[in-house]
Structure 1
Amino acid sequence: MNRFDDQTVLVTGGSGGQGSSHVRAFHAEGANVVIGGIDAERGAALADELGTRAHAIRLDVTDESSWSAAVLAAESTFGALDVLVNNAGVQNPPALIEDTDRATWSRILDVNLTGTLLGIKAAIPALRRAAGGAIVNIASTMGVGGTARYAPYVASKWAVRGLTRTAALELGRDQIRVNTIHPGVIATPFIHEPAAGATAAIADDYSPEPFAVPRLGEPIDVTRLLLFLASSDASFITGSEYVIDGGLLLGPALQAETA
């Protein structure tokens, strides 16, 4: 028996680098998957690839009506909603705080933080109707420490931590668990391609050579942890944060001695 047989999972940013990994894995574990994303064509292509038990919907996470439509699609197509993965996110072009414009600040917080809030808010009634479930918010190691030139993104991901803990307290008695994953540098277009308005990619600022595990992360590394937190195997875990970064935040690793 698969871990997610007869369950329905909504993944935002579901056709992106990490999102598509999550969608494919949930589907392989027996779940009905709802692929939410701003790029409707990419979502539809992924749904067509997966075939049965996959449904794509255009979802703008900053729009409450779009969220309502996504939750309605999950329930009307598959009968319930059991898991929400708040995976959608955007990055700001690198800039010092003194050079950060208000529009960029507002856009990043609107997607990364308000989008997560609206997702939780929209999913609560459906998860209650399903007699409980799980919400997993995908944050970032930038939400655990400071990072120069990325103030809007850092602030948004720090705030997701507090939002997650508050939601866990409010929803625990409804058998709804809420947890956060903080990925480090994961090998996806998100870090290999410049953010809108930028000329350099985030990966240009990071070499995995000092990491305790000296490689970039792969989407599947995050997906495996996500599957655990969303499953009944994690039934006693809520309000928790999981960093998955190969030791990035630990500091430089001890280098092996050479002969």
Structure 2
Amino acid sequence: MGRATAVRFAELGYSCVVADIDEQSAKETLGMLQTPGIVVQVDVTMATSVEAMVTAAVKRFGRIDCAFNCAGTEGNLAKIADHPEEEFDRVMGVNAKGVWLCLKYEIAQMLQQEPVVSDPARWADKPDVCRFRGQRGSIVNASSRAGLGPMPNNSAYCASKWAVLGITETAAVEYAKDGIRVNAICPAATATPMLDRFKEKLPPDLRGSTGPGFHPVGRIAAPEEMAEAVCWLCSDACPFTTGEHLKISGGV
């Protein structure tokens, strides 16, 4: 999803920072972009690494207008009584703490930036009450459909994605008057390497829960569909939208 979103942002004219713990994968993504970009290797569980990522972005491009925080891990499957504590900590560290750290340093940078309107003419003739006066930045976090309901045998992942929604709404309220919007997407099954790994861990009788038949539309999602949602949430098309989560689940 991160790769597809970077590609879409580049198609829209944004310069991109591709940040990943897998530097080689990030370089491959950079090669797909139509605009200038840089690669930053980052471990989102470490504050110093996340801070360095933001510093590198600002050093190269001067500001951060948009961010998509989507680093994640699926975790192993087990009921709560059988789930190792260290596995819970690992999943929460990447999926929840990682989002919190990214927000911490992204927002700190955005607070230093002047608000901008990416398309001033679009809003010039609107009444004052409706006019979009510009934003310092817009952030989207990756939650999940698992952040909206139970996910048996994967309590850590479920907990982490519920946590992302709580962090998202809190950040949105804290910084709304500063011109920083924070929202989240909640995808259902999407064609990614994570989904492939998750399927391999499922018992055969449960694999249908991640397949096309589970969704009323009759298929799973493409990463590009999530990218479109992220770019829309970051755009001038929805300046009143903050603290929201967008469920993208094919009817589930």
Asked if TM exceeds 0.5, the reply is yes
Q: Deviations over 1:171-215 (max 9, x none)?
A: 10110000010000001111112489x476985543322422111
Pick 1 or 2: higher relative contact order, CA cutoff 8 A, min separation 6: 2
Amino acid across the alignment from 1:53: P
Aligned to 1:136: 140
State whether structure 2 residue 180 is matched by structure 1 residue 176. Answer: yes
Please give the root-mean-square deviation of Cα atoms over the aligned residues, in Å: 1.8
State whether structure 2 residue 74 is matched by structure 1 residue 91. Answer: yes
Amino acid across the alignment from 1:130: Q
State whether structure 2 residue 150 is matched by structure 1 residue 146. Answer: yes
Percent identity of the aligned residues? 32
Q: For residues 200 and 167 of structure 1, do their structure 2 counterparts lie closer, same or farther at Cα, with a shift above 3 Å needed?
A: same
Contact 2:10 2:34 in 1 (8 A): no
With normalisation by structure 1, the TM-score equals 0.84
Kindly tell me the number of residue pairs found equivalent between the two proteins. Answer: 230
Distance 1:191 1:204 in 2: 12
Contact 1:135 1:179 in 2 (8 A): yes
Amino acid across the alignment from 1:228: W
1:29-40 to 2 correspondence within 5 Å?
Answer: 29-40=12-23
Aligned to 1:62: 45
Residue 54 of structure 1: how far off its partner (Å): 1.2
Selected match of 1:211 from 202, 208, 215? 215
Q: Which residues of structure 2 form unaligned runs of 5+? A: 115-135
Contact 1:93 1:195 in 2 (8 A): no
Amino acid across the alignment from 1:93: N
Residue 130 of structure 1: how far off its partner (Å): 2.4
SS in 2 for 1:147: coil
With normalisation by structure 2, the TM-score equals 0.86
Aligned to 1:164: 168
State whether structure 2 residue 33 is matched by structure 1 residue 50. Answer: yes
Amino acid across the alignment from 1:24: V
1:100-115 to 2 correspondence within 5 Å?
Answer: 100-115=83-98
State whether structure 2 residue 15 is matched by structure 1 residue 28. Answer: no
Q: For residues 210 and 121 of structure 1, do their structure 2 counterparts lie closer, same or farther at Cα, with a shift above 3 Å needed?
A: closer
